[in-house]
Structures are given as C-alpha cells and as structure tokens.
Chain A
C-alpha cells in the first residue's frame, strides 16, 4: 500500500478539555489507514518546528469523491502539537500517510475468537481508535481500560464506552487523583480482570512507555498474547532517517515507523 504525501484541508479543530484537541482534515487520494497506522503532519508551512509529527489516525471516513477525512486526536505538549492545535478551518497542512505497520492480530484468524482487552494511557487512546472500531465491526467483544492522571485525560471515554458496550464489553476507568473511575493505575483492573477469568485472549495497548511495559509483563504472566502501538522520536516517518529505533528482545533494533509502530508485546525489550 502506497503512502501519499498530500495536502490536507483542515475542516475543524475541536478544542476538547485542554490540552486535548481533535483535528479533522480532508486529504485527497489517501488510502484509509489500518488500525495502528499513522500519518506525518505539520501545522501548515511554518518553518518551526522543523520536523513533522507522527499522529495515529484516530478516526477516518472515506468520502465519495475519493478523499479521506481523517481525525487526529492530540495533546498539546510542545511546539509541534501547539502548531497543529492552532490550525484554522481551510488551512492546508502536509499529510504523509498512511504509514507503518498496524495491529496484526485484527486480521489474525486465531485471535478472532475470545475477548480482547484494550489498554490506553491518556492520549494513547488515539492509537486505539480505529482498532476499537474494527473490533466492534467484527463483533469481537472487548473491554476498554482507560487510565489517566485525572478525569480530563480520559478525553474520549464516551466514544470507547459506546464501542465496547456494543460488543458486550465495558469501559473501565482509573485516574491517579480519583477524579474519574477508581483511584490508581489502569494496570490494576487489567490484572484483576485477567485473574478473574474475563476471557481475554489478546491485549492491545497504547500509552506511556511505563504503562506498555507493565501491560507486557501482565500479559506474559497471564499467558495472553498482545500488541503495543509504540512511539519514539521520529525524523521522517518512512524509513529513511533510521532515527526511530525500538530495541527488541533479540538485541536488534526495529524501526518504529516501518516494522512498527505496532509490535508484539513479547518482542520489545521494554
């Protein structure tokens, strides 16, 4: 599948509770992304920051004219995300994608049976949006574990509640300050669920490194396979700069942008 470097026309930038935003852009001739794939984007042609930023395709809608409307769920953390959040409707921004290797287990027959656990930490939920939709379409039941520091970090909770409930699953929330769901880390209910026989055969995760590492440990202990959508600093997003190395357990490196961003939980040296 060919990635296309194109211009996206910003349709709107929805300010979610700060510092989160949802940017929608219409991209001509872009193929739909597979769950877990990403795009490289920048806020118009500003000279700074210099490099584009990698964003998971959170949601997408093919239009009849061949264009694709993509939604990027973002959190302002620096100059790149600031520039994107500041985009105005009608602005044309560079969009290169879809890029990378998405979740494999979605298409994997063996994993289609059994229930799935999706584990998101904060803005990591952006990496699980298309996956949750794909599971819902495939009528595969999943629980969505959504953890954050406080309530506003669970910015898309209602979307994931709706999707998971349609599959007979549920939304489980935790926050470190107790402002939503149980107080604590999201790995606690995941572990409890596995122990209580929730029937998970696959765990998918996206979030801070520490969370994904913990999920990998928990999944291994429970004998459950899984995948993580990883993130590294990225120069180009398409395999040229070799800057986005992820260290594997076998001692080698893989490129986050090509072999990843999705890796098996048991192949990454967390």
Chain B
C-alpha cells in the first residue's frame, strides 16, 4: 500500500465495540470525567468517542473521609469511596445536557447487592441518551462494594444474568486486575450475557507518610492509576482479548497516542482515558487529533485494521 496516497485521505477513526458504534475509540473513564459537564468549559466534548459517567448508585453517597488521594511515581492512588449524586439526579439533571452530543454516554453503575444493580439497570433502561451500562464490579474502595462480584466467576455470572434481564442496553463489565485470572472473570461475564468487557480497574495499592509514619489514605488501601499501571493493564487486555470472545475496551495509564495504539494492537476496540485528564483536561481530545494524525502519517486506513494486530501470528 502506498502511504503517500492514503495519507491524503482522512483515516477512519470509527470503531464498533459490540453493539456500540463510536465516532472514534477515545472514551473518558469512570470517575475521571465527573458526569461530563464538569469538563464542558474546559474540553470539547463533541469530539470524544464516548464518556463513562462517575459510578452511580441508587442513593447519593458522600464518599470516604479525607485523605482520598496520594500522588505516586507515574500516577496516583485514590480512595474516593464512590461519592456520587445518585442515579435519579443524574437522569434528571445531567443526562439532558449530554444526550444530544455525539459521544456515546455510558452509565457506570454499582451496588452493594445484586438487587441494587438490577434496580439501577431498570432505572436507566428507558433513557435513550444512555448508550450502554458499565457495571463496576471491581471498585477496591468500598468495604462491601462491588468487589466480591468481580472476584468470583459464579457470582459475577449470576449478577450479569440478572442485569441482562433488566435492560436491553449493551452491558459492559469492568474487570478487576486484582485477581489471578481476569480472563476467567471475563468468560464468566460473557456467560452471564455481557456484551463488552472493559479492562482494567485500578490496582490495589498503598502509600505511607514517612513523617507521620501512618498510611496516607484514610482507608489505608487505594486504587493505583496512571502511567505506572500501563504495562500491567496492557498485558491483561492482551490476554482477555485473546481468550474471551467479547470486544474489549482498554483502560490503564493511557496518555499518549502510542499508548492508544498499543491497546488497540493488544486487542482493544476502544480505550478509556482516566488519570491523564487530571494532569491535562484536554488529553482525550488531544488523543483524538493525535491518533488521526498518526494514522494518516503512517498510512493506516482505519482504527479497525489495528485491533488485535499484535496477537496475530507473524
């Protein structure tokens, strides 16, 4: 193929992630983009492929006491504790401002019991502006949070099956990296009826203040995110994409166009950008532009042609 000829055409950035059709593969990750509107004045929402809301519960939650975050080498620990406005306020106050924008709105849901996930899914099901639900079954920061759902294949499978019966929306299951075999959980999610996997959530970690000799975070443990986790997340995406027959959305320390390409090549059909938005609120739109430029320069016709290329035999 002549790179010169194709470089004149604009590469096709669109991507199909199971039932979701996105204008480009760049989404913002849950818990890093607020509800979308926080960024309206600082970032150009229109250009994103999609955005994933802050995790929503049935009732509003106040979150964990301070200290909630700690910067680390190449990233940060957080223990926000799923502070959120509750699903009803999201649907009445926030969704109307997002629903007519080109990016697909994925609503991140979490509960403390299977019933709560089911009721959340029922609640958002009638809303056209909701393109998909993402089940947070892997948050490390709530004592009885979704974590047990994300660590036991049978429980996960049962949970997804129940949510499946509650909504016709595409179901994304966000996998925990804090397990021996994320791909086994991915298979369980598929058996339950999931449409898409997102991988991965944060890695459990901690930091200690050497001056006070105490853990920095009020909850002791927190979730590690940022560039520090990228190689770990990439490995999991590679394994999950190869071993589970579902489309994967890659997450973990993505900040540069090369990071995006790596996740696509590892088998992700799209990616979520998270912690990098804290460093620079325009990271996601910068990546959309940068990806287009890169594909044009390298004569790559489409995002689609890259997905999983690193897993194919030479």
B-contacting residues of A (Cβ < 8 Å)? 2-5, 42, 47-52, 94, 96, 232-236, 238-247, 252-253
Contacts and interface: CB of A to CB of B under 8 A. Distances in A.
Contacts of B65: 245, 247, 253
Contact of A5 (B42, B63, B226): B42
A240 B31 CA distance: 7
B42 A241 contact: no
Contacts of B83: 242, 245, 253
A232 B41 CA distance: 24
B281 interface: yes
Main secondary structure on chain A at its contact with chain B? loop
B69 A243 contact: yes
A50 B68 contact: no
Contacts of A252: 62
Given A50-B74, A240-B33, A232 B66 contact: yes
A204 B282 CA distance: 35
B68 A244 contact: yes
A213 to B, nearest CB: 14
B111 interface: no
Interface in B66-108: 66-76, 78, 80, 83
Contacts, number: 97
Contact of A50 (B54, B66, B277, B279): B279
B289 to A, nearest CB: 15
B39 interface: yes
A134 B33 CA distance: 35
A246 B279 CA distance: 21
A242 B74 contact: no
Given A233-B67, A240-B33, A5 B73 contact: no
Nearest to A239: B38
A242 B278 contact: no
11 contacts: A50-B72, A50-B75, A50-B275, A51-B279, A241-B69, A241-B78, A241-B80, A242-B80, A244-B68, A247-B65, A253-B63
Given A3-B42, A243-B69, A236 B281 contact: yes
Nearest to B281: A5
Given A5-B281, A235-B278, A247 B66 contact: yes
Contact of B70 (A233, A242, A244): A233
A42 B281 CA distance: 13
B308 interface: no
B278 A236 contact: yes
A244 B66 CA distance: 7
A233 B69 contact: yes
A160 B278 CA distance: 34
A235 B281 contact: no
A96 B280 CA distance: 9
B70 A2 contact: no
A243 B80 contact: yes
